């Protein structure tokens, strides 16, 4: 009997506690937390920028024309116009500025070159149609460099550009004489020439720091004068000779962007 009474008392107490908790929960104030903020969308990845310093290496091929005006003492006539060609290897450094899709920059490069050519034949100092020796006309470019501006249009990681500036290089051009006539002096121009370079190219980013380019340049190293001294009848005469040297350069390169 006592156990039944105790059980009933326990159940009644539990019911009272449960009812009290529910009443308190019902009377508790409700706080308005306001609207729930929408999740923030991830910002789009920024476009790749061409702005910054870069340095790299290049290699390619060049072919050029050597032109010289001359008298009629050579069997080839009054003008030489021959081609020189060969490989080039070098390096470049530069800086780009990007404004919207437009890219402007300055680049300088220095190239080892192996552009060379030669021609030989007979020399005639009088009208007897008997050769008075042989000549060799040769030309070679051992090195050249350029300092240019670049201007182009960028499509994210791809750049199309034009370029132009000054060019300078060592062009060894001129004649040598092999014969029995003394005091013949055939001139040779072995000077550092200064001219200009123009061209264009395309460049693309392979990684965030590495870019690859293909470029064409026309390099004109201007004209140089030198003298040739040879017999003319009973006396010697001296004439001034002018040579022009230009080259077409196609090269591919890699740049590291800092």
Is residue 207 one of the residues assigned to a domain? yes
Asked if residue 228 is part of any domain, the answer here is yes
Query: b vs e for 163-179, b when ≥16 Cβ sit within 10 Å of the residue's Cβ?
Result: bbbebbbbbebbbebee
Mean pLDDT of the chain: 81
Residue 117 lies in a domain: yes
Number of domains in the chain: 1
Instruction: Provide the CA 33 distance to its chain's centre, in angstroms.
Output: 61
Q: Beta partners for 142?
A: none
131 conformational bin, left if phi > 0, alpha if psi -120 to 50, beta if neither: beta
Q: What is the pLDDT, as a whole number, of residue 215?
A: 98
Give the tens place of pLDDT for each residue, 89-110. Answer: 999 999 999 999 999 999 999 9
On the CB side of 198, CA atoms within 13 Å amount to 1
- Alpha carbon distance 39, 61 (integer Å): 57
Q: Of 224, 125, 225, which Cα lies nearest the Cα of 177? A: 125
Q: Kindly report the CA angle at 108 between 103 and 114, in degrees rounded to 5?
A: 130
Q: For residues 173 and 1, which has the higher predicted lDDT (pLDDT)?
A: 173
The parent domain of residue 182 ranges over 52-257
Q: What is the CATH number of the domain that holds 121?
A: 2.40.160
Lowest mean pLDDT among 13-22, 52-61, 144-153, 165-174: 13-22
* Contact by Cβ (8 Å): 84, 113: no
Range among 74-78, 185-189, 222-226, 254-258 rated most confident: 254-258
- 193 domain residue, yes or no: yes
Residue 174 lies in a domain: yes
- Residue 10 scores a pLDDT above 50: no
Q: Given this model, what pLDDT does residue 201 score?
A: 98
Q: What is the pLDDT of residues 176-203, one digit of tens each?
A: 888 888 888 887 777 788 999 999 999 9
Pick 3 or 36 by higher pLDDT: 36
Contact 141, 169 (CB under 8 A): yes
Whether 194 maps to a domain, the answer reads: yes
Q: How far apart are CA 155 and CA 102, in angstroms?
A: 9
Among the residue ranges 26-30, 85-89, 192-196, the one predicted with the least confidence is 26-30
Residue 258 pLDDT greater than 80, yes or no: yes
**Would 45 be classed as within a structural domain?**
no
The per-residue pLDDT for 159 is 98
Does residue 240 register a pLDDT over 90? no
Residue 15 lies in a domain: no
> How many alpha carbons lie under 13 Å from residue 98 in its C-beta half-sphere?
18
Supply the pLDDT for residue 227.
75
Percent of the chain with pLDDT over 70: 78
Average pLDDT over residues 19-35: 50
Q: How far is CA 162 from the centre of its chain?
A: 10
User: Strands (DSSP E) along the chain, which ranges?
Assistant: 52-69, 79-99, 102-122, 134-155, 158-178, 185-186, 188-205, 210-232, 235-257
């Amino acid at each position: 009997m006592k156990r039944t009474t105790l059980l009933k008392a326990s159940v009644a107490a539990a019911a009272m506690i449960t009812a009290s908790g529910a009443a308190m929960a019902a009377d508790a104030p409700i706080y308005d937390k306001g609207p729930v903020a929408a999740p923030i969308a991830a910002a789009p990845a920024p476009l790749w920028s061409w702005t910054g310093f870069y340095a790299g290496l290049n290699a390619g091929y060049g072919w050029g024309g050597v032109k010289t005006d001359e008298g009629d003492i050579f069997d080839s006539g009054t003008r030489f116009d021959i081609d020189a060609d060969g490989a080039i290897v070098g390096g470049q450094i530069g800086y780009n500025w990007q404004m919207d899709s437009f890219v402007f920059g300055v680049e300088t490069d220095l190239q080892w070159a192996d552009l060379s050519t030669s021609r030989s034949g007979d020399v005639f100092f009088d009208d007897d149609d008997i050769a008075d020796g042989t000549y060799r006309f040769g030309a070679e470019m051992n090195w050249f460099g350029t300092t240019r501006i670049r201007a182009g249009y960028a499509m994210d990681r791809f750049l199309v550009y034009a370029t132009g500036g000054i060019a300078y290089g060592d062009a060894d051009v001129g004649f040598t004489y092999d014969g029995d006539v003394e005091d013949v002096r055939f001139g040779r121009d072995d000077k550092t020439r200064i001219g200009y370079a123009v061209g264009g190219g395309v460049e693309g980013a392979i990684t965030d720091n590495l870019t690859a380019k293909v470029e064409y340049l026309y390099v004109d190293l201007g004209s140089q004068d030198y003298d040739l001294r040879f017999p003319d009848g009973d006396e010697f005469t001296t004439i001034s000779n002018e040579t022009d040297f230009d080259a077409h350069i196609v090269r591919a390169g890699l740049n590291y962007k800092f």
